[in-house]
Structure 1
Amino acid sequence: MSDFLSKFNKDNYDKLENEQKSSGGKNEPKSENIQEETKVEPAPSSSSNSENQTTQSRYYSNMAQRDADTGRSDEEVEVDPDYRRKKRRKQGIIIAGSVLAGILLFFIYYQMVHVKMEDFIGKPVSEARTWTTDNDLEMELTQEYSTEYEENQIISQSVSEKDKIRKGKKVQFVSSKGADPEDVIPLPDFSLLSQPDIENWIEENHAKNLKVVHEFSDSIKEGEFIRLEIRDSNITAEEYKRKDSAAVFLSKGEEVFAKDITVPDFSNKPKEEVEQWAKTNMIEMEYEEEDSTTVEANLIISQSVKAEEKIAKKDQMKVKVSLGKATIVPNFGELTPDEASEQAGLMLSVKQKFHSDVSYGKLISQSIEAGTKLMGQEETAVTVVYSLGRPYLRDYRGQLDGDLPRLFYEDYQSKGANVNYIVKYVDSPEIKGTIVGMSAFNQFINMTYTVEVQISRNDSASPISVPVPEEDMGEGE
């Protein structure tokens, strides 16, 4: 601008004016440019139209003065008639944009610091915990028993679904601990219920410790009730609580197995080998013992199912086990006591007893019947009893009374005769304690008999010298 004013003097002005005249006004600026130069953005104002007009008048006066000072007084100023309308429109757009931008910024900020609550009722606690952690919320969890919701499912929440909650805030949840285990739920008569009814009852009553167990049965149809077992035998069905362990057994019907087990040849095999095979293959094996002169004891003689045939699990099978060579018990009534003692293969015990009806030397009894086959050492023990006839009372005079208990036991009582004695002390020249008389002696008596024994009570008699046998004298020497 300073360069322009320095050049703008009288001579230059005249020269410029002549050039414009010669050019016919070709260099005259366009009205659009004039309009652009004259358009100056006034400061936004809320004044009335009269004030705006005054301001515009002053503005145009100043412009005219400026043009006069710069030699532009001859130029015309054109005013845009839509200026006000455009200006107001532009102002409205700016204001509306600012408001929308503010609202948008507030909305974005609100969305950043708030989160929309989801519905977790009936869902696992883990899902609610994960969601609160991911959304910067604090979870507060309490538990209570419920029959409506399963264990660890959400029962309620402090913030409703779709409500906004600020991040960092606390959300309270109540979760289910399941049904109360202390509740008493009397058990019905399961024998009157079908399998679906039993399973529905367990589900409806949340009896998780009551299990349904299926097992095979040869006598009860499939699906029918077999038995009820409560682990604690002191608890009755009417006192049953959810915490108590119990099982309802239902039948799976008869178990049918395929015949896919090959039977081996057990001939001359040990019994233990058969037992192990039967246990491994679940075969119901029956063992029958039999003596044999050709097969050793405890070895298999024969089997009911032939070798290489196929059988199924739980099929029945029989094998004969050898007891070895049998010992046949003889008829000891045909043998004398001496002959009986010589019988081989038997653990024989020969006894003799008094008998009022069986004559001397005859058999009274034998512990095992004649013709019986005996196997093994324990089974071959046989006791036979021969008769001594009627008891014979011996003469015990000259013996001492101290020997009487032994003599009567050995001679009579141990051999089945009930012979006793009574003592009577008498005056006698014999030494005290010597048997000097008997009411009976040297005669046959009944099986039950009592004899009187007379004993000397003379304690002043000289002792009787008892001769020493020659054999004893020889041993002393």
Structure 2
Amino acid sequence: MTNKKDFLSSLAEELEGEKKGVSNDDFDIYQAANKKGDELRSYKNLDYDFEQAKKTAPKAAPQPTKTVASEPVKRTAPTPTPAPAARKATLRDGKEPDSFQQEKLQKIEKKPFKLDPKLLVAGIIALLLTGAAIWYFVFAPKIPMPNFVGQTINDVGAWAKQNNIPTSNIIVNTEFSTEFDKDVIITQDKTAGSKIKDTTPLTFVASKGANPDDPIDFPDLMNMNYTEVKDWIETNKLSKTKINTQYNTIVEKDKVINFELKTGTESSFTRGSTLTINISKGAAPAGTVAVENFVGKTIAELEQWATSKKIVVEKTEAYSDTVEAGKIISQGIKVGESLEEGGKLPVVVSKGKAVKIPNFVGYTKEMLEVWAATPENKVTIIKKERYNAAAAGNVIEQSIKAGSAVDSGSVLELTISLYMPQLETNSRAWYGKDYLELVKWVDDANGKGANMAAGAWDGEEASDEYPTPGQIISYRCLDVNGNQLPHGANGCARPLPIDAKIAMKISNGPKTPKATPTPTPE
């Protein structure tokens, strides 16, 4: 018997095909009603003769129509159906359908959704306004860029700090300029008045001042006056050219007395050459003295001049690594200024190079010899020795405080460690010796800081071995509390501690009396 598919099976296959991506463009949605119940049927180019089916199908009571809605699908023009008499009712697979009940088909139309144009425009405007607000408050630059041209690098730094702009975002390049002074901004990469962020990189070009290596024409200074010299300096930005004014009875006021070119020559003069120009202030007022330049001169020269001008010299001394001893380092009144007769001229006189005293504590004998052999360390070293726990030969004290600067030839006392006092060199070193010899040894050690004590605290006894009164029979070494030291039979075999005590037992004569000689008969 041939298996036949009903419409529900066909519909299920078509729906499964839609899930798998099969196009349903040629399907229409219909209402179907029969006595078995409401069913939704769809047909796609079925070679099926509905008129013939109606004629052959048995009559059935009409069923109530039920409308089933579904989403609208794309529709195409239906394929023309051949005349009923010319075709036989078949399904697409060529099989005849099972029995048919009377069906009433009704096509469902669903109106497409339409969006209100006003609502669409309002939504777009709201979206644009929201985006603009986010951009303005989050991303838009807000810091106004000033015009820093003509201002200094410090002005840029202060502005950056005020606006929380990291200095790592600021690049300052430099170049020589005769128009702008040193550290003044020449150009900036951001236009003044524009807005920037605190993360925006900024680049500035600052002036290094005029190029010191630029050649400058050297004028006839001896025929120039003060105003001309000053204008020449300012026009050419001569940073190392200075003017000194001083009283002079020979050269008229505002004329050049002399000049001193310390670097280069007149033919090779540059902006960076060092030049000092002395200009006359004319004759000094009556009762006053024009101060001369004494820097680098000896104190004897200054005192001779001061005596002739009735000026009092106030001298202080200082160490100098560049000015030799006895010459003037500086003076308290500038050259050319006036000083009344009887006035005081303070000067600083060099004591020469200072000897800088290091911390000698811990120096070994070899280290001390190396330091003393250095030419600039010219001091007189006096050594004294003292018992101490430091290794023998090490410095333990110094008379001049570490870090001090002293004159050449100053006396420096250094205390050298002897280590601890050593009583014995062999186990019977002091047996049979007069006890006063041991007492003397202790006194000598105390003179070097041993702080020991010795005495015949173990008493006296007769001894045939040491028959001479005062001979040492035995001795012991004790600590400061009277306890016997642990090393050796008598505790004296090792270096003794500071404050040690030595107890002795001494002989008071022989134990066995000497026999009285028998007189020889006459």
Shorter-chain TM-score category?
Answer: 0.3 to 0.5
Q: Which protein is bigger by CA-based radius of gyration? A: 1
Name the structure with the higher helix share.
1
TM-score normalized by structure 2? 0.34
TM-score normalized by structure 1? 0.37
